[in-house]
A and B are shown apart, each in its own frame.
Chain A
Amino acid sequence: MSELLEVGDRVVARARPGEQVEALVLRSSDTEVRVYEGEIESFSSAQSHGVGVRVVVDGRQGFAYAGTLDDDVLAETVAEARDNAAFGEPDEFNGLAEPDGVPVAELDLYRDGLLAVPTDDKIALAQELERAVKGADARITGVESAEYVDSVGDAAVVTSTGVRTSGRESACYVAAYVLAEEDGDTQTGFGFSVGREPADLDVARAAADAAERATRLLGATKPSGGRVAVVLDPYVTAQFLAILGATLSGDAVLKGRSLFADRLGETVGSDRLTLVDDPTDARAFTAGQTDGEGLATRRNVLVEGGTLRRFVHNTYTGRRSGAASTGSAIRSGFKSTPGAGCQALSLLPGDRTQAELIADVGDGILVQSVSGLHSGVNPVSGDFSTGAEGLRISGGAVGEPLREFTIASTIQKMLADVVAVGSDLEWLPMSAAGVSLVIGDVTISGA
């Protein structure tokens, strides 16, 4: 890891007078095993690394990246970023992060154990998962994929403005995607288990989830249209929160792309809603000690009892909005400059289980999966429409399976229509935690 900091130091040492230079250096080591019908279908192993270099000079910013850490390429990358900066327009708020005194949380994100696990054991985990899924239910007719994946990643950020941080994390998961069939009807389902090392993985749970998801929709019909109450399954809520998080990005706010732009301090949803972004919560799959600019991550309360309290900022959006970075610089690898975004969102849970919420709702739909969130939800206008599947709720209990319908509303209205948050908070392998969520009124289109 000190090796990556040294690479960063070498990049930053190339700064010329009057220039700010930032290096993000990444390295990862990955394994992926896929099995099919008991045999290894593919086994991939790889080491990869890369560097992203940002140069700011006279308020102009340029960027370049390379998928190698060779010295000659590093020099070329700095030169290219510098040349690119000449074409950016000056902006007084451009500039790299500076140490802000917020202490870095010590999080347990890396286990040596991962590297010690022999390859054959990893293969065996994938095979065990495939067997377990096949045996879980007589209606399971095939396993399209069963895989084990792991990764150890190192990251370092070094800037000429005094930031010098690094981190290491390990992650692994097993996942299966399965087919179920009954009376000529085919349905699919997935299941997974995630951990920091193989010992954390629960293969039986992954298999049971995949089988349950695939079989629960067999024989599903299309509901008739109308306005109903819905209970969102934790997995669906997490996807919804990720979209909501995008509207609270300081970048979207400053550039007039957030429907909440002028609403700090105002009521934006039901008083049941408290939304927190906390990457220092080590239970979160996306937890991290430092953000994409090397500043300490921190807990940010975004919505409190339905009132909008805060947007998330990186250094640029923080400065420009007269605030400061909230430690929320996000990067997708080394190939781009940091954005501002949420990293580990969760709703403050309530005190009712999903079964209790379903009983409270009486009549409606339990939405277990949604599709087309990327195509049918516009985070700028707030228009919300997705394909959905789930179970009918009648008389306070779940009934027959439903598929091929849409749920539609707007993000604004859905927040206002939140009736209850469940007690079943669950961290999922995405940037938000799941929890059951009751929304009192959405439009269903079906048959």
Chain B
Amino acid sequence: MLDEAVIQRTLGAALRTGGEWAEIFVEDKRSSSAVLDDGKVEELTSGRDRGAGIRVVVGETTGFAHTADLSEDGLRTAAEAAAAAARGGSGGTRVADLSRHTAPRPNEVGVAPEDVAKATKVELLTRADRVARDQGSAITQVMARYGDSRRKILIANSDGLLTGDDQVKTLFSVSCVAFGDTGMQTGRESVGHTIGFELFDQYDVEDLARRAAERALTKLHAKPAPSGTLPVVIGKGGGGVLFHEACGHGLEADLVGKSASAFKGKVGEQVASPLITLVDDGTIAGEWGCFAVDDEGRPAQRNTLIEDGVLTDYMWDHLRARKEGRESSGNGRRQSYQHLPMVRMTNTVITNGDTDPDDIVAGTDKGVYVAQLGGGQVNTATGDFVFGMTEAYLIEGGRITDPIREGNLIGNGPEVLTRIDALGNDFAMGSPGMCGKDGQGVPVGDGVPTLRVTALTVGGTAA
């Protein structure tokens, strides 16, 4: 993407005012999307984002500047702006000779999105629309969305690292509205993987459309959600966001370092039910949160964070690891070249237990079964979190019965981790997610087997 000599000189310019460490991150991203709504293909969008972000570190201070001008002059101007922001270092750092590192890709891309005709992408949308509407006259609206992106990145730093990645992602979603006596309800399904157009060899868009429509239709008969504290069984796949919110964010070293985590100082302690092993894994082939190298050039890793309920480690990026004199765990990520990297999750999963999921439901007398969770939010300092139920049912007498209307579940992360008393053997990954932190969004994956939390607060209206 850039000539090595230009990179070397740009890093030199970044260190000229006394910086101790410098980095250049170059990104060239092409994306395309197509939306069908209200029965017709509304429009196709194509986008191009290209630029570089330059970081200079002096002591505890980071200077940062970015530019869309990738000429040597443009890069030097940005390097000087970043250097001016990080002033007052002792100087004397020179840029090590760059040596190229190639990290293994988690998987190869089968069909590059740019090699697929636009008409072929559009045809997926019209098929999804037709099938969703075929599910019943109560389906009154359908939106289908196709998106792909190809993000080439290059990272070089003054330690001599030179590496890069070529990340291809493909996404498809269907959202339906159903209308009945009780008003309107919605249903959504999405799939996304870090692969090319071969996504559609693995997933049938008609099947996704059918499931989204069924979800909306089912909810037309939903009862008000209960109000109160109840046992909650979380279904496989769709419940991963629980752990992303309940403990994942609290295990990010930047928040821990500022005492903004309820898990600070707890490495080596039993923080969860012994059933729980939590892993953040950027290497899972094709998953939404995987990559060859993170946005600081560190190869993706599989990091065990909680093992049999004991907290084993936090997640780290370059800055936080450097401060502690340890290695980054491959969790330094950023939304784009216009953003500073920070500690982020990749694919966060709870590994399998050994209970038959049917037995978990059968062993629950009265509670809620959540088939699909929506988004969530956590206050990492207190551990208090909320997340939405987008498909849920009552459990009565050990059986899943009536669907219930949407609502939030709330709880406290450290408390909920200790209240998991059953873990299924049916692990599955969930839907692709976009995790927001400090105004930056990055793609993340999550997955869980079926599990039961003995008590969670369900925010419904029924007594």
Residues of A within 8 A of B (CB): 36, 39-49, 61-68, 73, 76-77, 80-81, 83-85, 87-89, 91, 141-142, 144-145, 179, 186-188, 222, 225, 254-257, 259, 335-337, 371-372, 374-376, 378, 380-383, 385-387, 403-409, 443-447
Produce 1/0 per residue, B41-56, CB < 8 A to A: 1111111111100000
- Tell me if A405 and B42 are in contact (CB < 8 A): no
Given contacts A43-B61, A445-B460, contact A80 B46 (CB under 8 A): yes
Q: Which of A45, A73, A387 contacts B81 (CB 8 A)?
A: A45
Interface residues of B (CB under 8 A from A): 34, 37-38, 40-51, 59-69, 81, 85-86, 118-119, 122, 140-141, 177, 179, 183-186, 219, 225, 227-229, 255, 258-260, 262, 338, 340, 374-377, 379, 381-382, 384-388, 405-408, 410-412, 457-461
- Within 8 Å CB of B51, what residues of A? 67-68
B384 touches A62 (CB 8 A): no
Check A87 against B122 for contact (C-beta < 8 Å). yes
A62 to B382 alpha-carbon distance, docked (Å): 47
A255 in contact with B37 given A68-B50, A408-B227, A445-B458 (CB within 8 Å): yes
Q: A255-B37, A387-B384 are in contact. Are A62 and B460 (CB under 8 A)?
A: no
Residues of B close to A443: CB separation below 8 A? 227, 460-461
Residues of A with C-beta under 8 A to B41 = 87-89
Nearest CB of B to A133, in Å: 14
Contact B258 A144 (CB under 8 A): yes
From A84, A141, A188, give the contact of B43 (CB < 8 A). A84
Expressed in whole angstroms, the Cα–Cα distance for A47 and B47 within the complex equals: 19
Q: A142-B259, A372-B386, A385-B407 are in contact. Are A66 and B47 (CB under 8 A)?
A: yes
A381 touching B141 by the CB < 8 A rule? no
- Complex Cα spacing A186 to B250, Å: 14
* Complex CA–CA separation, A222 to B140 (angstroms): 41
Q: Which residue of B lies closest to A316 (CB)?
A: B42
Please state if B227 and A337 are interface contacts (CB–CB under 8 Å).
Answer: no
Give chain B residues whose Cβ lies under 8 Å from the Cβ of A336: 45
Given the complex, which residues of B lie within 8 Å of A76, measured CB to CB? 48
Which residue of B375, B379, B457 is within 8 Å of A188 (Cβ)?
B379
Chosen A-B contacts, 25 in total, with CB atoms closer than 8 Å, are A39-B59, A41-B60, A42-B61, A45-B85, A64-B46, A65-B47, A66-B48, A68-B68, A83-B118, A85-B44, A88-B40, A88-B43, A187-B381, A255-B37, A335-B47, A371-B386, A372-B387, A372-B388, A381-B185, A381-B406, A385-B459, A405-B410, A406-B227, A445-B228, A446-B457
Main secondary structure of the interface of B (DSSP, over half): strand
* Chain B residues within 8 Å of A73, by CB: 48
Q: Assess whether A63 is in contact with B59, with CB atoms less than 8 Å apart.
A: no
Residue of B nearest to A187 (CB): B382
Chain A residues with CB under 8 Å of B67's CB are 46-47
Closest to B386 in A: A372
Shortest Cβ distance from residue B265 to the other chain A in the assembled complex, whole angstroms: 12
User: Known contacts A36-B60, A43-B86, A48-B338; is A406 also within 8 Å of B48 by CB?
Assistant: no
Chain B residue with Cβ nearest A42: B62
Q: Which residue of A lies closest to B382 (CB)?
A: A186
* Contact partners of B384 in chain A: CB under 8 A: 371, 387, 403-404
Q: Using known A-B contacts A372-B410, A385-B225, determine if residue A44 contacts B45 with beta carbons closer than 8 Å.
A: no
Report the nearest A residue to B384, measured CB to CB: A404
A445 and B457 contacting across the interface, CB-CB below 8 Å? yes
Residue among B86, B338, B408 making CB contact with A46, cutoff 8 Å:
B338
Q: For residue B461, which residues in chain A have a CB less than 8 angstroms away from its CB?
A: 385, 408-409, 443
Which of A142, A337, A371 gathers the greatest number of chain B CB atoms within 10 Å?
A371
Partner of A256, one of B61, B177, B255, B459: B177
Residue of A nearest to B49 (CB): A67
Asked whether A44 lies within 8 Å of B340 as measured between CB atoms, the reply is yes
Distance from A103 Cβ to chain B, minimum over Cβ atoms (Å): 31
With contacts A381-B406, A408-B459, A445-B458 taken as known, whether A188 is within 8 angstroms of B386 at the C-beta atoms is no
Chain A's nearest CB lies how many Å from the CB of B99?
28
Question: In the complex, are the beta carbons of A61 and B66 less than 8 A apart?
Answer: no
Please judge, given known A-B contacts A61-B43, A63-B44, A87-B44, whether A255 and B50 are in contact too, CB under 8 Å: no
CB distance from B57 to the nearest CB of A (A): 9
How far apart are the CA atoms of A337 and B34 in the complex, in Å? 12
Tell whether, in the assembled complex, residue B381 and residue A179 are in contact, meaning their CB atoms are under 8 Å apart.
yes
Shortest C-beta distance, A151 to chain B (Å), equals 13
Which residue, of B37, B60, B179, B388, has the highest number of chain A Cβ atoms within 10 A? B388
**Least distance between B97 CB and chain A CB atoms (Å):** 28
**Are B405 and A383 in contact, with the CB atoms below 8 A?**
yes
B64 contacts A43, CB within 8 Å?
yes
Residue of B nearest to A32 (CB): B64
**Contact B185 A65, beta carbon cutoff 8 Å:** no
A61 to B185, CA, bound (A): 30
In the complex, what distance in Å separates the CA atom of A36 from the CA atom of B122?
A: 49
Instruction: Please provide the 7 A-B residue pairs with the shortest distance between their CB atoms, ordered closest to farther.
Output: A406-B459, A375-B388, A372-B386, A376-B408, A43-B85, A385-B407, A84-B44
Most chain B C-beta atoms within 10 Å of own C-beta, residue among A36, A85, A254, A408: A408
Q: Which residues of B contact A222 (CB under 8 A)?
A: 457
Instruction: Select B62's contact among A41, A67, A145, A255, beta carbons within 8 Å.
Output: A41
In the assembled complex, the Cα of A405 lies from the Cα of B50 at a distance in Å of 45
- Since A179-B259, A337-B45, A404-B412 are in contact, a sample of 5 more A-B pairs with Cβ atoms closer than 8 Å, ordered by chain A residue number, is A47-B67, A68-B48, A406-B457, A408-B461, A443-B460
**In the complex, which residues of chain A have a beta carbon less than 8 angstroms from the beta carbon of B184?**
256-257, 259, 380-381
Kindly list chain B residues whose C-beta atoms are within 8 Å of the C-beta of A44.
Answer: 63-66, 85, 340
| Assembly CA distance A57 to B305 (angstroms) | 55
Q: How far is the CA of A404 from the CA of B383 in the complex (A)?
A: 11
Cα(A130)–Cα(B34), bound, Å: 46
Could you tell me the distance between the alpha carbons of A112 and B379 in the complex, rounded to whole angstroms? Answer: 38
Q: Which residues of A contact B406 (CB under 8 A)?
A: 376, 378, 381, 383, 385
- Name A86's closest neighbour in chain B (CB-CB): B118
Q: Which of B34, B46, B260, B379 contacts A371 (CB 8 A)?
A: B379
B47, B338, B459: which has the most chain A beta carbons within 10 Å? B459
Report whether A88 and B44 are in contact in the complex, using a CB–CB cutoff of 8 Å.
yes
Chain A residues contacting B375 (CB-CB under 8 Å) are 372, 374-375
Contact B407 A374 (CB under 8 A): no
Name the distance in Å between A240's Cβ and chain B's nearest Cβ: 15
Bound-complex Cα distance A64 to B64 (A): 29
In contact, A81 and B46 (Cβ under 8 angstroms): yes
| Chain B: CB-nearest residue to A255 | B38
Residues of A within 8 A of B69 (CB): 68
Q: Looking at the assembled complex, report how far the CB atom of B64 sits from the nearest CB atom of chain A, in whole angstroms.
A: 4
A376 to B405, CA, bound (A): 10
B35–chain A nearest beta-carbon distance, Å:
9
- In the bound complex, residues from chain B placing their C-beta under 8 Å from that of A48 are 66, 68, 338
Q: Report yes or no: A256 in contact with B140, Cβ–Cβ below 8 A.
A: yes
Q: B68 near A67 (CB under 8 angstroms)?
A: yes
Q: Which residue of B lies closest to A334 (CB)?
A: B47
Contacts A61-B43, A375-B388, A385-B407: A42 and B340 contacting too (C-beta < 8 A)? yes
What residues on B are CB-neighbors of A256 within 8 Å?
Answer: 140-141, 177, 179, 184
Q: Establish whether residues B68 and A405, one from each chain, have CB atoms under 8 Å apart when the complex forms.
A: no
Question: How distant is B105 from chain A, measured CB to nearest CB, in Å?
Answer: 26
Nearest residue in A to B63 (C-beta to C-beta)?
Answer: A43
Q: How far is the CB of A383 from chain B (nearest CB, A)?
A: 4
Q: Are A372 and B179 in contact (CB under 8 A)?
A: no
Q: Which residues of B contact A68 (CB under 8 A)?
A: 48, 50-51, 68-69
Bound state CA distance, A374 and B386, in angstroms?
A: 10
